[in-house]
Amino acid sequence: MEEVGRIPLIGEKFPELKVKTTQGELCLPKDCEGKWFVLFSHPADFTPVCTTEFIAFQSKKEEFEKLNCELIGLSVDQVFSHIKWIEWIKENRGVEITFPIIADDMGEVAKTLGMIHPKKGTNTVRAVFIVDDKGIIRLILYYPQEIGRNIDEILRAVKALQTSDNYGVATPANWPENPIIGDKVIVPPASSVKEAQERLEKAKSGEIECFDWWFCYKNL
């Protein structure tokens, strides 16, 4: 029986939402079909931390697009507030925000996605949803209002997820700059005794590298 009122989880389909944005109406995830997207919420327009985040997201927009990934912002402010705020950013910081921002002034999207945390106030926390080109939620992050996000980490996560999908591998901590194996990727653990033995044979032949049969890695 489906759980009522539960927020979506990793591996589930992103809920169907019709939203109003600074660039018109969007139907998610349908309008992003065939593309990845990062949906991120911010507590409020005209606030210092959120302003730094939007400028940082915009500075990386081209890199996200190279990964076939769109950026979509969101807060519970109204459209006119979003428009005035991005005008201010352009006029005062010289940065034009070119990705859409959802105006969730009724709070329905925020409630659906668990972006409202009562103990942190009535505004949205800094949530991040990474959704793949099939509309599946692949990663969820929640930051409190007082902590700005690391946009490079979100970009890295998209790259890592796509690498995992494309090559059937896992990525280590701080990839591609892991202190143990560098930019190499991890071969998934063996699922049988035979496969474990085969891993060690592959290591001997140089096809992969292993610290042990359960910890093998390779170049892409």
Summarised one tens digit per residue, pLDDT across range 30-53 is: 999 999 999 999 999 999 999 999
Cβ burial 89-125 (10 Å sphere, 16+ → b, else e): beeeeebebebbbbbbeeeebbebbbbbbeeeeebbb
Predicted TM-score (pTM) above 0.85: yes
Split at pLDDT 50, 70, 90, the class of 5 is low
Given the residues 50, 69, 210, 216, the one annotated as active site? 50
Split at pLDDT 50, 70, 90, the class of 123 is confident
- Mean pLDDT value across residues 142-171: 96
Pairing outcome for strands 209-212 and 185-187 = unpaired
- 209 Cβ partners below 8 Å, 6+ apart? 181, 184, 203, 216, 217, 218
* pLDDT tens readout for residues 124-137: 889 999 999 999 99
* pLDDT tens readout for residues 170-200: 999 999 999 999 999 999 988 999 999 998 8
Task: Say if residue 115's pLDDT is above 60.
Answer: yes
Identify whether 27 is a catalytic site residue: no
Quick one: pLDDT at residue 179?
97
Question: Above pLDDT 90, what percent of the chain?
Answer: 84
Split at pLDDT 50, 70, 90, the class of 3 is very low
Right CATH number for 17-149 from 3.40.30.10, 3.30.70.330, 3.90.550.10, 3.40.50.280?
3.40.30.10
Task: Say if residue 1's pLDDT is above 90.
Answer: no
DSSP 58-85: HHHHHHHHHTTEEEEEEESS-HHHHHHH
Distance separating alpha carbons of residues 217 and 140, to the nearest angstrom: 26
Domain 168-220 carries which CATH code? 3.30.1020.10
Quick one: pLDDT at residue 6?
75
Domain 17-149 shares a fold with domain 168-220: no
Q: Where are the domains of the chain?
A: 17-149, 168-220
Minimum mean pLDDT range among 3-12, 57-66, 131-140 = 3-12
Tell me the pLDDT of the chain averaged across its residues: 94
Closest CA to 159 of 67, 39, 38: 67
Split at pLDDT 50, 70, 90, the class of 116 is confident
Asked whether 95 and 51 are in contact (CB, 8 A), the reply is no
Minimum mean pLDDT range among 20-24, 120-124, 152-156 = 120-124
